[in-house]
Amino acid sequence: MIQIAAIAWKDLRGTARNLPALAMMLLAPLALAALLGFAFGGGESFSISPIKVVVVNEDEGPLTVAGAALPNAGNSVAGVLEGSALQDLLDVSRSESPARARSLVDEGTRAVAVIIPPAFSRSVYGAASNDQATVELYQDPTEGIGASIVESVVDQTLLTFNGASAAAAAATALAGADGTAHEQAAQAAAARYVEDGGAEALLGVAQRPPQLPAGKETRDVGVTAVILAGMMVFFLFFGASNVARTILDEDQAGTLSRLFTTPTPRRTILGGKFVSVFVTVAAQAVILLVAGRLIFGIRWGSPGAVAALTVAAAVVASSLALLIISLVRTPGQAGAIGSGVYLILALVGGNFVGTVATTGIYATLQRLTPNGWLLRAWDTTMRGGSVGDIALSLLVTFAFALVFFIVAIWRFRKRFA
Amino acid sequence: MKSAVDGEGAVSIVDVENLRKQFDPPNGVVAVDGVSFAIEKGEVFSLLGPNGAGKSTTISMLSCLLRPTGGDALIDGHSVLDQPQSVKEAIGVVPQDIALYPDMSARENLVFWGKMYGLTGTDLRRRVDEVLELVSLVERQKDRVEKYSGGMKRRVNIGVALLHRPKVLFLDEPTVGIDPQSRRSILDGILALRDQGMTILYTTHYMAEAQELSDRVGIIDHGKMIALGTHEELVRIVGEEAHVRLRVDHDLLGMVDHWSAVPGVSRAAIDEEEAVLYVHDANAVLPQLFETSAAAATRITEVSVTEPNLEMVFLHLTGRALRE
């Protein structure tokens, strides 16, 4: 135990004196999160891919108001969303039932569901002023910018109905009024429509809950938090690699061989190395979490879940770093190959795009990486999830770590036998 | 605990039997090929050989860094094959290259390595102080090793191996690449350890070091032990005659005839422009050689005497110089 502590302490001191490495481990993720967060609007979430929208049009129109036939308002809204002008921005499909559309969002297949209610035309044209029917936007909360775009499109479309609504309201008022008061009644009806909020009152937005058990409240998460979580996981792997590389440095310097000539068992020596990597990465995570809270005001979630995730991230990063080191011969190789592996894992795992926003094959690929599972868990935790809510992610992450560690030990035993 | 005892009752603390190492068998290089030797307690034993002869590989196997592919060795009665942990407790290893942490001070290095040898608490602190005294680095103990001269680093490098009071000290070419003053300092340190009764296995390709330090020398080449014994025993292989080389201003052929008749000269020959005389006692013969040349009105312009040495032994056995 004394030997493990001595080796770990020696390596930790070396890391603490390595300013470039510290800058990469601590400042880089914070700087990237700040820059990207600023670029994408601070607290707003964002998406860079075409927004997958599902439309349900239950509108029963057309109808007649004051003797005039009016177009089906639901068809108009759906038509705008499906139109050629927005085809690069929106990927729209249709669904027959609101329940199915919501489930598509819940599954992650669609980002936003636009649900047009049966009485929508009647509501738009003022024939159902006492029974307000609203368009429902049911959205994946991580698709903040995507959902905002859809909301904006729908909102603008609804605004075009303002004139018609006002006219309809006026006509309705006129039809039932005394002949001498036509003009005043029309003005009063139009004013009432505007005062009531016009088209805005026709639009409702509902966010789908993230992967939390039914009944739990969720929090919105800002873009900076999403980015910092991704960057933190990404740079934890780099931090682990930096410390694990001391095995190769010591191998080249001859101190590893000298350690092997002492009575300290090889498993103790490698154990000390693992402890130093783990402690470094865990400290890096804690510093980034605290900095994220203090600088960006990020609410990471319940202490238990955050602690469990921090440990899981540190363990898997340490194990992967040892695995990579066990497979290469020189620090140079470790740098080149390690960087490649971490970058690929980050790209596939979603460190740069906010993992849970993705769907389809990409979502499946993410689940093949420890990064993907960690990011899913961070997303859930930041939205208020508990340890229980991220249990599967934790389990899979530890399984990754175990496999990496076993292979690394096997390689080291073979190499240093 | 097993101890090897030779025929005269001396106790062997290192007993190497037919040690062999082949890398990547069955077709890989055979670095050490059936080496056998024994080292008695308190003895300084040198493995002398050129670079690539197998000296470091032998030390690595005795240090349990490399597993032999044949044979075995007992260190303080423990097998390097079966009891590596016990072997490591008995040995101190000074590697060929400096194996220290340059960003740590000498004291920090010694404390760290002391812990690796299982020392703790007061015992650790006392041994660190003693070793710092021994390597004359008390004043500079808090300076980072990276700021030390090459000789100082070498001293710390040796000091690390002495922390746990090993029964046998392995020194693998500890004077390679350092200045003469530092080399002298290290050799004096090793002589001091010898005087304290430390058993030392020393590898070198410097004949003079082996000759100065060792009680016995094993000459190794191409992985095989080609000669083993005391200095006197080894030089007997090439005979006990010294070589006297002489140059003269004229009539070299005539002088060789005259000198070959001088008592004490067993043989005379011409090597390029020099006369080479084989003599039993150079000091006794030299005045007569000068008298003979004076009588023949020939002036000696250059003279050199080479006493029989390990270099000559190696040349005799391999046909190559040690430095080749």
CA distances from A199 to A80, A133, A134, B63, B188 (A): 16, 11, 9, 85, 98
Which positions in chain A have a beta carbon within 8 angstroms of at least one beta carbon in chain B? 2-3, 6, 10, 13-14, 17, 253-255, 257-265, 417
Residue A213 forms part of a structural domain: no
CB contact under 8 A, B95 and A254: yes
Domain boundaries, chain B: 12-236, 241-307
**Band of residue A241 on the pLDDT scale cut at 50, 70, 90:** confident
**Band of residue B6 on the pLDDT scale cut at 50, 70, 90:** very low
User: Which of A220, A226, A256, A239 is CA-nearest to residue A339?
Assistant: A239
Please list every residue in chain B whose beta carbon sits closer than 8 Å to the beta carbon of residue A254. Answer: 95, 97-99
Q: Which of A19, A252, A257, A258 to mutate to test the interface with B (most CBs of B within 10 A)?
A: A258
Which positions in chain B have a beta carbon within 8 angstroms of at least one beta carbon in chain A? 63-65, 67, 85, 88-89, 91, 93, 95, 97-101, 103-104, 112-113, 115-118, 120, 160
Residue A214 forms part of a structural domain: no
If you average pLDDT over residues B266-283, what whole number do you get? 87
User: What percentage of chain B has pLDDT greater than the value 90?
Assistant: 56
- Give the three-state DSSP class for B167: coil
Could you tell me the CATH number of the domain that includes residue A196? 3.40.1710
- ipTM given for this complex: 0.81
If you average pLDDT over residues A157-164, what whole number do you get? 70
CB contact under 8 A, A264 and B89: no
Residue A51 token pair:
């927004």
CB contact under 8 A, A257 and B118: no
For A99, the domain range is: 51-207
Same domain, A10 and A156: no
pTM: 0.68
Report pLDDT for B1.
Answer: 35
Q: Which of A259, A261, A269, A414 to mutate to test the interface with B (most CBs of B within 10 A)?
A: A261
Q: Is omega for the bond preceding B26 within 30 degrees of 0, making it cis?
A: yes
Q: Which of A168, A185, A207 is the C-terminal boundary of a domain?
A: A207
CB contact under 8 A, B120 and A259: no
Same domain, A36 and A74: no
Whether residue B190 is predicted with pLDDT greater than 50 in this model: the reply is yes
Q: Name which of B65, B67, B103 is nearest A14 (Cβ-Cβ).
A: B103
Whether residue B235 is predicted with pLDDT greater than 90 in this model: the reply is no
**Band of residue A210 on the pLDDT scale cut at 50, 70, 90:** very low
A and B: number of Cβ contacts within 8 A: 56
CB B94 within 8 A of CB B202: no
For β-strands B44-48 and B216-221, DSSP reports them as parallel
What are the tens digits of pLDDT across the range B103-122? 999 999 999 999 999 999 99
Same domain, A356 and A391: yes
Number of domains in chain A: 2
Whether residue B306 is predicted with pLDDT greater than 50 in this model: the reply is yes
Report pLDDT for A368.
Answer: 87
Q: Which of A175, A207, A239 is the C-terminal boundary of a domain?
A: A207
Q: Name which of B85, B116, B120 is nearest A259 (Cβ-Cβ).
A: B116
What are the tens digits of pLDDT across the range A258-267? 999 999 988 8
Report pLDDT for A69.
Answer: 65
By the 10 Å C-beta count (0-12 exposed, 13-18 middle, 19+ buried), A197 is classed as exposed
What are the tens digits of pLDDT across the range B59-94? 999 999 999 999 999 999 999 999 999 999 999 999
CB contact under 8 A, B93 and A417: no
CB contact under 8 A, B99 and A10: no
What is the number of other CB atoms lying within 10 angstroms of the CB of residue B233? 13
Q: Tell me which of B136 and B323 has the higher pLDDT.
A: B136
What are the tens digits of pLDDT across the range A167-189? 666 666 665 555 545 545 554 55
By the 10 Å C-beta count (0-12 exposed, 13-18 middle, 19+ buried), A19 is classed as exposed
Same domain, A345 and A288: yes
Residue A385 forms part of a structural domain: yes
Q: How far apart are CA A220 and CA B154, in angstroms?
A: 62
Q: How far is A417 from chain B (nearest CA, A)?
A: 8
Running DSSP on this structure, what letter comes out for residue B105? B
Please list every residue in chain B whose beta carbon sits closer than 8 Å to the beta carbon of residue A10. Answer: 101, 104, 112
CB contact under 8 A, A262 and B97: no
- State residue A329 phi and psi, 5-degree precision: -110, -30
What are the tens digits of pLDDT across the range A27-80? 777 777 677 666 655 544 444 457 888 999 888 776 665 566 667 778 888 888
User: Which of B288, B256, B286, B284 is CA-nearest to residue B269?
Assistant: B256
Residue A114 token pair:
């636009």
If you average pLDDT over residues B160-173, what whole number do you get? 92
* Nearest chain A residue to B162, by CA: A262
User: Which of A331, A326, A296, A300 is CA-nearest to residue A313?
Assistant: A300
Same domain, A172 and A278: no
- State residue B246 phi and psi, 5-degree precision: -135, 145
Residue A215 forms part of a structural domain: no
What are the tens digits of pLDDT across the range A335-392? 888 888 888 888 887 777 765 555 667 777 888 889 888 888 888 888 888 888 889 9
CA distances from A394 to A367, A378, A389 (A): 12, 10, 10
CB contact under 8 A, A253 and B115: no
Q: What torsion, rounded to 10 degrees, do the Cα atoms A380, A385, A388, A393 define?
A: 10
CB B19 within 8 A of CB B58: yes
Same domain, A58 and A189: yes
Residue A411 forms part of a structural domain: yes
CA angle A312, A317, A320 (to 5 degrees): 125
What are the tens digits of pLDDT across the range B280-299? 888 889 999 999 999 999 99
CB contact under 8 A, B103 and A17: yes
CB contact under 8 A, B88 and A262: yes
Q: How far is A17 from chain B (nearest CA, A)?
A: 9
What is the number of other CB atoms lying within 10 angstroms of the CB of residue A195? 8
Q: How far is A251 from chain B (nearest CA, A)?
A: 10
Same domain, A285 and A351: yes
Q: Name which of B98, B101, B116 is nearest A262 (Cβ-Cβ).
A: B116
Which residue type occupies A330? T
Q: Which of A207, A230, A251 is the C-terminal boundary of a domain?
A: A207
User: Considering the domain B241-307, what is its CATH architecture?
Assistant: 2-Layer Sandwich (3.30)
Residue A212 forms part of a structural domain: no
3-state SS of chain A is CHHHHHHHHHHHHHHHCCHHHHHHHHHHHHHHHHHHHHHCCCCCCCCCCCEEEEEEECCCCCEEECCEEECCHHHHHHHHHHCHHHCCCEEEEECCCHHHHHHHHHHCCCCEEEEECCCHHHHHCCCCCCCCCCEEEEECCCCHHHHHHHHHHHHHHHHHHHHHHHHHHHHHHHHCCCHHHHHHHHHHHHHHHHHCCHHHHHEEEEECCCCCCCCCCCCCCCHHHHHHHHHHHHHHHHHHHHHHCHHHHHHHHCHHHHHHCCCCCHHHHHHHHHHHHHHHHHHHHHHHHHHHHHHHCCCCCCHHHHHHHHHHHHHHHHHHHHHHHHHCCCHHHHHHHHHHHHHHHHHHHCCCCCHHHCCHHHHHHHCCCHHHHHHHHHHHHHCCCCCHHHHHHHHHHHHHHHHHHHHHHHHHHHHCC
Q: How far is B136 from chain A (nearest CA, A)?
A: 23
If you average pLDDT over residues A190-205, what whole number do you get? 51
Q: How far apart are CA A396 and CA A390, in angstroms?
A: 10
Residue A268 forms part of a structural domain: yes
**Band of residue A132 on the pLDDT scale cut at 50, 70, 90:** low
What is the number of other CB atoms lying within 10 angstroms of the CB of residue A218? 17
Q: How far apart are CA A55 and CA A120, in angstroms?
A: 14
CB contact under 8 A, B99 and A14: no
Q: Tell me which of A282 and A171 has the higher pLDDT.
A: A282
Domain B12-236 has CATH 3.40.50.300: yes
Please list every residue in chain A whose beta carbon sits closer than 8 Å to the beta carbon of residue B62. Answer: none
Q: Is omega for the bond preceding A62 within 30 degrees of 0, making it cis?
A: yes
Kindly report the average pLDDT of chain A as a whole number.
77
CA distances from A323 to A130, A254, A410, A411 (A): 67, 21, 9, 8
CB B169 within 8 A of CB B92: yes
Same domain, A72 and A196: yes
* Nearest chain B residue to A7, by CA: B112
CB contact under 8 A, B89 and A263: yes
Please list every residue in chain B whose beta carbon sits closer than 8 Å to the beta carbon of residue A15. Answer: none
If you average pLDDT over residues A405-412, what whole number do you get? 88
CB contact under 8 A, A262 and B112: no
CB contact under 8 A, A257 and B95: yes
Whether residue B5 is predicted with pLDDT greater than 50 in this model: the reply is no
Same domain, A202 and A247: no
Q: How far is A252 from chain B (nearest CA, A)?
A: 10
Same domain, A143 and A277: no
CB A314 within 8 A of CB A285: yes
Please list every residue in chain B whose beta carbon sits closer than 8 Å to the beta carbon of residue A253. Answer: 99
**Band of residue B2 on the pLDDT scale cut at 50, 70, 90:** very low
Q: How far apart are CA A116 and CA A118, in angstroms?
A: 7
CB contact under 8 A, B118 and A263: yes
Report pLDDT for A171.
Answer: 61
CB contact under 8 A, B97 and A254: yes
What are the tens digits of pLDDT across the range A79-96? 888 877 677 678 888 888
Which residue type occupies A246? T
User: What percentage of chain A has pLDDT greater than the value 70?
Assistant: 73
Report pLDDT for B256.
Answer: 92
Q: How far apart are CA A17 and CA A29, in angstroms?
A: 20
Q: How far is A258 from chain B (nearest CA, A)?
A: 7
Q: Name which of A253, A263, A417 is nearest B117 (Cβ-Cβ).
A: A263
Q: How far apart are CA A258 and CA B100, in angstroms?
A: 9
Report pLDDT for B71.
Answer: 92
Q: Tell me which of B322 and B166 has the higher pLDDT.
A: B166
